[in-house]
Structure 1
Amino acid sequence: MNLPYTTSQDKAPFFLMAGSCAIESKDLAYEIAERIKQITDSMGIPFIFKGSYRKANRTKIDSFTGIGDILALEILKEVGEHFQVPTVTDIHESAEAFMAAPYVDVLQIPAFLCRQTDLLAAAAQTGKAVNIKKGQFMSGASMKFAVEKVKHENPEALVYLTDRGNSFGYGDLVVDFRNLPEMAAFQVPVIMDCTHSLQRPNQGSGVTGGQPALIETIAKAAIAVGADGLFIETHPNPSIAKSDGANMLPLDQLEGLLEKLLKIREAIL
């Protein structure tokens, strides 16, 4: 499956990583993937379908974690084959890299784990593309070492770097857009995570909050700064999503948002 390698200097649209936070069911995954593909095909935007086969980083012991690893991975593979789109999922331990690799095109390293050398090395060894989320505790410039770890294991690996904000106090995040050009200096595509960067993590209720009304603001700024791609979690009804509903974009708002973003992209080229 061809993966986008758009850079901010290319006269091409940004690419989009999008889908629900977690794989909740086959029907929902198909519904979301079908709608996003319709929209992105009509606009000429390269699309990678995202879904987590398991949510390992949960606040409470009884939080939803998944429907079963292999079942969810099989759904991801079916979505990719049915809609002819690349797919991405996150991994949490080295052994998971080799488990997930046969089912997806991109292995994603969660932000909290971006310094885990063995995990990065294992992802690289699979031969899959690797999307590394910048830690909430790190600068964009410091992510060069994560790229080096992947390239050390596989010099030909396609590496993406994704910003998702920085910790600001105990329960909030703030986006420093200097991180995007800093990471682009490593000659890899850079992505802005427009939904997780608006989380309000570690709330006293045990449920992560968010500010989805600002997704458009973050996305517009990211494109203006030169992001190569956007990461957006979306759901037909975020209020009933089993994971991260508080900061997801309603699916019916995606098309209008992308139309605005394409105009910004065209203006800065």
Structure 2
Amino acid sequence: MTREIAINDVKIGGDRPLVLVAGPCVIESEAATLRHAERLLTICNGLSIPLIFKASYDKANRTSIGGFRGPGIKDGLKILAKVKDSLGLSVLSDIHSIEQVAPAAEVLDVLQIPAFLCRQTDLIIAAAQSGRVINIKKGQFLAPWDMKNVAAKAVASGNENIILTERGASFGYNNLVVDMRTFPIMRATGFPVIFDATHSVQLPGGQGECSGGQREYVEYLSRAAVAAGIDGIFMEVHEDPDKALCDGPNSIPLDDLPTLLKLLKSIDALVK
């Protein structure tokens, strides 16, 4: 059993029910972000599923120079602060440099270390020393047992409020696979584990100047991961994925989310 971590009124880990981390890939506008957050809150309240809202103020890891990155840290954090203040939701977003830690920690409840940065020791130390909960995504290039060393960096910096996230491993060109053994291996560290269901069906760089995705497989991987005993599930959602400014091909339509969450909740209850 993993330790239990409190993120305001959301508790993840231990024998707690499944937690959802969800939102659009990137902040497209203030109105769109609040609209998505309100819709997610309504869905999750109806199903009694704890929610942490996720949206990136800057998508620094883009396939091409022209890829949409978001409003930037200053304006993005203002929008996420409005989500917190108006809806009472805990919020999560990515940090990419040590300089971003302090301002991000003033707003965010969870600082997320992107997969490609999970071995950046100074970034992990700075995030850990902020005192916020940190969610560290496993790099596509790492084995699951390597994450114990990543988590140890945060622990050595005085922070044990750590969540680990699986988002698939590189398998050939423009493809990711998820090894279900990852979940018990990573949970053996004692920290809660989240499955990033939508990034795991991403095809990095698969459309030439942007990434592709196979959202039709999200349900199947999610069902398997929840059955394996994960603590939370991460999904990028959008009201109209085909018009999303980032990661549309692997995002779940908001209209499809309630049915999927109901199924995952039932599997989680059976397993736990």
TM-score above 0.5, yes or no: yes
Where has structure 1 moved over 6 Å in runs of 4 or more? none
Q: Equivalents in 2 of 1:151, 1:90: separation in Å?
A: 20
1:47, CA displacement in angstroms? 0.6
Structure 1 residue aligned with 2:243: 240
Q: Which amino acid aligns with 1:164?
A: R
Residue 57 of structure 1 corresponds to which residue in structure 2? 61
Gaps of 5+ in 2: 1-6
- Larger mean CA deviation between 61-70 and 192-201 belongs to 61-70
Deviation track 1:109-134 (CA, whole Å, cap 9, x = no partner) reads 00001000000001011111100000
* 1:39 shift after superposition: 1.3
Letter in 2 for 1:154: G
TM-score for both structures, normalised by structure 1: 0.96
Q: What pairs with 1:178-193 in structure 2 (closer than 5 Å)? A: 178-193=181-196
2:82 is aligned with 1:66: no
Residue 4 of structure 1 corresponds to: 10
Confirm or deny that 1:101 pairs with 2:105: yes
> What's the offset of the Cα at 1:45?
1.2
Give the residue type in structure 2 aligned to 1:182.
Answer: I
C-alpha distance in 2, partners of 1:33/1:154? 32
Q: Which residue of 2 aligns with 1:39?
A: 43
Provide, for residues 7-62 of structure 1, a one-character-per-residue CA deviation record: whole Å limited to 9, x for no partner.
3x51x420010000001111111111111111111222111000101010001111
Q: Which residue matches 2:259? A: 256
Matches within 5 A, 1:1-269: 2=8, 4-7=10-13, 10=15, 12-155=16-159, 157-203=160-206, 205-269=208-272
Greater alpha carbon shift after TM alignment, 174-183 vs 196-205: 196-205
* In structure 2, distance between residues paired with 1:34 and 1:198: 26
User: Does structure 2 conserve the Cα–Cα contact (< 8 Å) formed by 1:5 and 1:189?
Assistant: no
- Deviations 1:39-95, CA, capped at 9 Å, x for gaps: 111222111000101010001111111123211111011101211111000011111
Q: Distance in 1 between matches of 2:248 and 2:263?
A: 23
Query: Which is worse superposed, 224-233 or 95-104?
Result: 95-104
Partner SS, residue 138 of structure 1: coil
2:116 is matched by which residue type in structure 1? F
- The CA distance in 2 between the partners of 1:19 and 1:148, in whole Å, is 29
Matched length: 266
CA distance in 2, matches of 1:187, 1:41: 29
Task: Let me know the Cα RMSD of the aligned residues.
Answer: 1.2
- CA offset digits 1:136-192 (Å, max 9, x no partner): 01111110111111111124x410000000000011000011111111011111000
CA distance in 2, matches of 1:141, 1:76: 33
Unaligned runs of 5+ in 1: none
Amino acid at match of 1:196: H
TM-score with structure 2 length normalisation? 0.95
Q: How has the CA–CA distance of structure 1 residues 3 and 92 changed in structure 2, closer, same or farther, with 3 Å as cutoff? A: farther
- Aligned-partner Cα distance in 2 for 1:161–1:102: 22
